[in-house]
Structure 1
Amino acid sequence: MTKITRKSLSIICLLAFGLGTLKLTAYIPSPVFAQIQSEAPDSLEADRLSILGDQLEAASRYREAIESWQKALRLYRILENRKGEGKVLVDLCVVYRRLGQYQKAIEFGEQSLVIYRQNGDLNGEGNSLGNLATVYRYLGQYQKVIELNQQSLAIFKQNGNRKNEAGILNNLGLAYKSLGQYLKASEFYQQSLAIKKEIGDRIGEANSLMNLGDIYRIQGQNQKAIEFTHESFLIFKEIGDRSGEGNALGSIGNNYLNLRQYQKAIESYLKSLSIFKQIDDRYAEVGTLNNLGAAYGNLGQSPKAIEYFQQSLIIAKQIGDIKSQRTALNNLINIYNTLGKQQEAIEFRQQLLEITK
């Protein structure tokens, strides 16, 4: 078996997936108001569809959630119910981001921002800014991310919204981490974690723990990173956050990969992949498939590595994830070069040139 040089294969970190997303609480009509005969039937139906979308999303049935929210959105617009319209637009922004359809996510996020600004709804405005920042983070536009998050942070500090303030601090940490400013990233994560513990935000606490673990991983302190990330995994499992479980398992896998414990890395990645397939998180699936390829490559199992890199590439193309396409293509080029298969390497290099034009 030909063993692939570890440094030649790139992994995709899963820490950012699903973290710090800010959503408005669903409006649920009380039974008293629901019984009032003068209530417009379309208004009740719009609320029902909006709530149904929330329930479907919570069950990770994203496509069905979109269908329900789209129906609710049409009714809210007919009724000129701006509050309901804004809430559903935020929901659509978040779910399209999770599905890797970033331009659609931006479109809905910008629409929600316009509505909240027109209505003078500061919390809604802060949420929309934060959600747009998250989308731009996935697109790698980090200065835009910082700018939008700083605007959002100022609003939540002004309003005393501690939970959302903590979420934005976490997202600023993610942006600075992506820029390689790890000390600054750690400072934002610590601020976020302190607030989340103070207010009893368990899911937020888990996110911050995992992100701090990622900083330790980057700095080569892998055992410490595993400790932080395992703590976050236990919280995600306790509260039933499947996406969080998958992200934590992927992060643990990355640490084992760094420690050259490749079988343990593969075990974590396979568990993570199973979760992401179940919840239809295509973006996270792409990263996990790539990382499985890297682990098998380091074990010298080139056919398995190629298989996973190609699966990652196919899905990355389907969802328009250019960054992950580049990673998968570079890994395929490296592995074929190592195997002495120059023709295959040239073919993938041509694909890489086409997407970098």
Structure 2
Amino acid sequence: MKQRQLLPGCYVLLFIVLLSPTVASAADITQQLHRPLSNSSWRQSREEADSLVRIGEQQYASGFAEKTVASCLEALEIYHSIGDLKAQGVTYDLMAKAYLQLNRFKQGENALRRRLAIARDTKDFQAQIFALNNISTLLLQQGEAVAAGKTVEEALTIARHVKNIEGQGLSLSNLGLVSARLGDYNKAIKLYETALSFRRQTGDPIGEANTLNNLGDAYLAASNYPDTIGTYGAAMRIAKISRDRTNQLRAIDGLVIAHSAVGRYPRAFDLLEQRLILAQELQNLREELISFESYANLYEQLGNYPTAQNFYERAIILARTLADNKQEVRLVDKLTQMLKR
């Protein structure tokens, strides 16, 4: 996907060199190290692990990915001891998202591949489809477009075999991402349009908004600003109605870039104000950081360096609060480079 000029923190993921072929199987992961527990002990352990996962979800939603990882690791130790494969899979999903938010891609891929191994052992086809799509997305982020394409094609094959409409929509949308990364935007647009038909069949507003955002990305990469704005606008409306904050924020980010590109700075600032308010309502410090950096980028683009400096400094403070050293160093470097002008 084309690199975003204004909002580098926004397009994370995309969710790496492949791991060693000797990836641990689900059987290895879930090897029992303790004697069987009594029913009451099993229930108590399960409740403790479930509580840790809920805490991890709250930590992730608030932008504290490092704490999420710690909670997941603690929960996994318990799930392993009681042999709960399904819960392990869900926990690996959450842990992978946290690793990716921290840009720790190798650990994120490891968690996703463990998730896939569990899904295969339990013959959970839907989980396989989603795990393969997530791995594909991660590979794509790291520039492994060919490997990403093969991985998502495997997911699409499974989805078609079991007639999983949701999985087909997701896989087609991610194949569009692969085509876009390879520079074939016309093919990407066609794949996204086909994916939309599947996602609308299932009444999946989150999936529809995600694919619309992907389509907006393709139009933006092709410098088709009218269709870019229309598509991101549709994604933002759907996401707002369904309270899908992730896609709502992503659509706003795309609209800021598109409006700025055609000189509509008042609209871009209006959208950034909406973004910051939403991030603060969510109490998500990482999204607040992204909003401050976006303001800084826009003011820097307009040559208003004092105001840009103020927003960079606010973003740096949040990076320190989140203990995100990489972000802090990157932001300090951007500020330093701007002040040299």
**1:217 corresponding residue in structure 2:** 220
Contact residue 146 and residue 172 of structure 1 kept, 8 A: yes
**1:46 corresponding residue in structure 2:** 46
Q: CA deviation at 1:17?
A: 5.5
- The question of 1:318 aligning with 2:318 is answered no
2:6 to 11, 15, 20: 11
Contact residue 213 and residue 247 of structure 2 kept, 8 A: no
Change (3 A) 1:75 1:101: same
Q: CA deviation at 1:235?
A: 1.4
**2:166 corresponding residue in structure 1:** 163
**1:243 corresponding residue in structure 2:** 246
- The question of 1:201 aligning with 2:219 is answered no
Q: How do 1:132-143 and structure 2 match up within 5 A?
A: 132-143=135-146
Change (3 A) 1:152 1:311: farther
Long gaps (5+) in structure 1? 1-8, 21-37, 337-343, 346-357
- The question of 1:89 aligning with 2:84 is answered no
- The question of 1:60 aligning with 2:61 is answered yes
Find the aligned partners of 2:144 and 2:180 in 1 and give their Cα distance.
13
Contact residue 170 and residue 207 of structure 2 kept, 8 A: yes
Q: CA deviation at 1:128?
A: 1.9
**2:178 corresponding residue in structure 1:** 175
Change (3 A) 1:205 1:267: same
Contact residue 13 and residue 250 of structure 1 kept, 8 A: no
Q: Deviations over 1:9-60 (max 9, x none)?
A: 933368855899xxxxxxxxxxxxxxxxx85542464267437735863792
Amino acid at match of 2:57: E
Find the aligned partners of 1:146 and 1:307 in 2 and give their Cα distance.
42
Structure 1 vs Structure 2 CA RMSD: 3.7
Higher relative contact order (CA 8 A, sep 6+): 1
Contact residue 69 and residue 95 of structure 2 kept, 8 A: yes
1:305 to 293, 302, 308: 308
Q: CA deviation at 1:138?
A: 3.4
Worse overlay, 238-247 or 57-66: 57-66
Q: CA deviation at 1:117?
A: 2.9
Q: CA deviation at 1:201?
A: 0.7
Amino acid at match of 2:216: G
2:132 to 125, 129, 149: 129
Find the aligned partners of 2:314 and 2:266 in 1 and give their Cα distance.
20
Q: Secondary structure at the match of 2:61?
A: coil
Contact residue 100 and residue 321 of structure 1 kept, 8 A: no
Q: Percent identity of the aligned residues?
A: 21
Contact residue 290 and residue 328 of structure 1 kept, 8 A: no
- The question of 1:292 aligning with 2:295 is answered yes
**Equivalenced residues, count:** 309
2:195 to 192, 210, 213: 192
Find the aligned partners of 2:239 and 2:53 in 1 and give their Cα distance.
22
**1:109 corresponding residue in structure 2:** 112
Amino acid at match of 1:94: K
Q: Deviations over 1:297-355 (max 9, x none)?
A: 23220223345457668849936479x95x9967964x45xxxxxxx47xxxxxxxxxx
Amino acid at match of 1:304: T
TM-score, scaled to structure 2? 0.74
Contact residue 133 and residue 149 of structure 1 kept, 8 A: yes
Contact residue 172 and residue 194 of structure 2 kept, 8 A: yes
Q: Deviations over 1:220-278 (max 9, x none)?
A: 33233222212211111111122222111111111111111123212212432443464
Worse overlay, 181-190 or 87-96: 87-96
Find the aligned partners of 2:55 and 2:157 in 1 and give their Cα distance.
31
TM-score, scaled to structure 1? 0.71
Q: Deviations over 1:146-202 (max 9, x none)?
A: 232222222222222111221122122223223322112112211110101111111
**2:271 corresponding residue in structure 1:** 268
